[in-house]
Amino acid sequence: MNARLTPRLVLLLLLPPLLWAGNAVVGRLAAGHVPPLALNALRWALALVLLLPFGWRAIGSPQARSAARARWRPLALLGLFGIGAYNALQYLALTTSTALNVTLIVSSTPVWMMAVGALVYRERPTRSAVLGAILSLAGVAVVLTRGDPSQLAAVRFVPGDLLMLVAAFVWALYSWLLARPPASIGAGARPDWDWAGFLLVQLVFGVVWAGAFAGVEAMIAPAPIRWSAWVVLALIYVAVGPSLIAYRCWGLAVGSVGPSIAALFGNLTPLFAAVLSALVVGEPPRAFHALAFALIVTGIVVSTRRTLPAQVSSR
């Protein structure tokens, strides 16, 4: 089966980076109001509650719960990588790094995607995929240096930047597990999970991980949540947009074009973050943002100029 970049598929590939850019901006603004790991736990707990009416069938009967328990190991890994660890690392990173820096570093994900695919799944990247990743990373470098290559040597990474490098690798692991689930997920008769049910069983495990991490945070570095109307609205946004809507679109996109190509569209996140930051902070985009956008889009076009094999069925 082949997948082509139809307008619907392009929309599915564009929505997650836009929503995740908003998540980075909100996470940066939330620093000092909500502890980062508590923010992650609250985000996914609320998302779980909102998703329950749509995915209840996946856990609502003894037979459904038995099917989930039989596959708990790969589901626990999906919950750890995609929900518990990645987002926790991102919110931690945003306490010392900027939203733009964080989203820029996430744009190294295509490199991690190709590395994990080659080392774990024995899938060698095509020349066009490698070239597309290089062009997209060149666009990232343009933003990082503000259009002046001589500034590359002057770039200094803070602890949050290093945390996001780890997060990018974790997201690559999650995406490959999503695209190439272990045989144990399909042991015996495959559960009749739709997208909501499959995401819900991930959330059940992910919320456990996120809650455990938040508990450790509360013991090591206790800090109060400064509740306000803004904090409540921020929680609703990160629980609905970057969580439910973006994860649904990401799952469909990865299922159609594979994780490596989807990650190239993810490289649009820093540009969306720059625009959203400009709207919030009042700093308009500059000429080098246009150059970066051109390079990233060129990388996407180069990587997707041929028909792409679908790697998993859509959920």
pLDDT, one tens digit per residue, over 242-279 is: 989 988 888 788 778 876 677 678 778 877 888 887 77
Residue 89 · residue 179 · CB < 8 Å: no
Predicted confidence (pLDDT) at residue 174 exceeds the cutoff of 80: yes
Predicted confidence (pLDDT) at residue 178 exceeds the cutoff of 70: yes
pLDDT digits (tens, 9 = 90+) for 143-173: 767 677 776 666 666 788 889 889 988 988 8
Between residues 309 and 160, the one the model is more confident about: 160
pLDDT of 309: 38
Shortest CA distance to 259 belongs to which of 112, 135, 143? 112
pLDDT of 106: 77
Predicted confidence (pLDDT) at residue 305 exceeds the cutoff of 90: no
Predicted confidence (pLDDT) at residue 241 exceeds the cutoff of 80: yes
Mean pLDDT of 282-300: 73
pLDDT of 304: 62
pLDDT of 153: 67
Three-state secondary structure string covering 238-283: HHHHHHHHHHHHHHHHHHHHCHHHHHHHHCCHHHHHHHHHHHHHCC
How many CB atoms lie under 10 A from the CB of residue 233?
A: 11
By CB atoms closer than 10 A (0-12, 13-18, 19+), residue 204 is: buried
Mean pLDDT of 19-39: 92
**Residue 45: in which H helix or E strand, if any?**
helix 36-55
Among 177-191, 217-231, 298-312, the range scoring the smallest mean pLDDT is 298-312
pTM of the full predicted structure?
0.79
Mean pLDDT of 115-129: 78
Shortest CA distance to 292 belongs to which of 129, 94, 104? 104
Predicted confidence (pLDDT) at residue 180 exceeds the cutoff of 80: no
pLDDT of 38: 96
Confidence of residue 307 (pLDDT cuts 50, 70, 90): very low
Confidence of residue 232 (pLDDT cuts 50, 70, 90): very high
pLDDT of 285: 65
Confidence of residue 189 (pLDDT cuts 50, 70, 90): very low
Q: Please, which residues have CB within 8 angstroms of residue 262's CB and are 6 or more apart in sequence?
A: 13, 175, 250, 253, 254
Predicted confidence (pLDDT) at residue 188 exceeds the cutoff of 60: no
Shortest CA distance to 129 belongs to which of 143, 117, 119? 117
pLDDT of 264: 72
Angle (CA) 288-294-298 rounded to 5° is 150
The most confident of the ranges 56-60, 132-136, 210-214 is: 210-214
